[in-house]
Structure 1
Amino acid sequence: MGAFPIRRFGGHRSGASAVEFALVMPAFIAMLAGAIWAGQLAFASNSMHYAVEAGARCAAVNAVTCPDATTTLAYTRSHYSGPQISPVFTYGATGCGHTVSASATFNLNIVPGIKSVPLTAAACYP
């Protein structure tokens, strides 16, 4: 008689799906949000690298479009198409040739303990 309630309890599976869903769903949402933020971070970094490469090449090759530092930086800003992280672009004609660099901070407000990720990109075209 004492084993009867245990067998009866083990035979009911009506709430098992709800419990599994409640255990798995937060982890799934966290992984999905992390993948989205990682994708945004990669897109921002790649877009900064593309912009500085285009700006350095324009300064070295195209003297009509990029005759000075101001127009070179404007050209570089126009080639940045990533998320709104407000990268700061700088230009210099010393060192290896025409150097364009960028720096920005990508804010990760969703991850506890990591508030921001610094991003930098630089390109030099002789």
Structure 2
Amino acid sequence: MMAKAFLRRLARAQSGATAIEFALVLPVLSMMILGSIWIGLLVFTVSSLDYSVQSAARCSAVNEQLCDTTAKTVAYAEQRYTGPGATPTFTAAASDCGHSVVGEAKFDLAVVPGIKAMPLKVSACYP
């Protein structure tokens, strides 16, 4: 008899339900928040890399004084890159489409176990 009463009382008790629900939801919520931050940083890195490559390709085609050599075009692209952490490498060359610039970087994903870095590659060509 006493066991039945204890089980009934335990089934009706709700004193620790909020703490248990919070303990179950907290890991998922924190992973979603950190994942959103990392995705935002990745998008910002790609956007900044794309902007610097497009600007350098346009400078190479239009501005003869500032970007007349490939070394100056690469330096211009490096100056335009404002993204976080990743250190991109730029290459500039004349190609079939005109003046092309390629930017490559590795986005560090040290938070995710088993994934070291994500390679990023952006190219632009300006006639």
Give the TM-score band, short-chain normalised. Answer: over 0.9
Q: Which residue of 2 aligns with 1:98?
A: 99
Q: Distance in 2 between matches of 1:48 and 1:29?
A: 29
Task: Quote the residue 1:84 is aligned against.
Answer: 85
> What does the per-residue CA deviation read over 1:43-82, in whole Å, with 9 as the maximum and x for residues that have no partner?
1111111110000000001112212111111111111111
Per the TM alignment, residue 94 of structure 1 is displaced from its structure 2 partner at its CA by: 2.4
- Matching residue of 1:33: 34
Aligned length: 126
Structure 1: distance between partners of 2:11 and 2:32: 33
Given residue 42 of structure 1, which amino acid in structure 2 is its aligned partner?
Answer: V
Equivalent position amino acid for 1:46 in 2: S
Question: Identity of aligned pairs, percent?
Answer: 46
**How far is the alpha carbon of 1:3 from its aligned partner?**
2.2
Q: TM-score, normalised by structure 2?
A: 0.94
SS in 2 for 1:103: strand
Provide the rounded CA distance (Å) in 1 between the counterparts of 2:110 and 2:50: 24
For 1:64, the aligned partner's letter is: Q
- Compute the TM-score of the two structures, normalised by the length of structure 1: 0.95
| Cα deviation, residue 83, structure 1 | 0.7
Equivalences for 1:1-126 in 2 at 5 Å? Answer: 1=1, 2-126=3-127
Runs of 4+ in 1 over 4 A off after TM superposition: none
The CA RMSD measured in Å over matched residues stands at 1.0
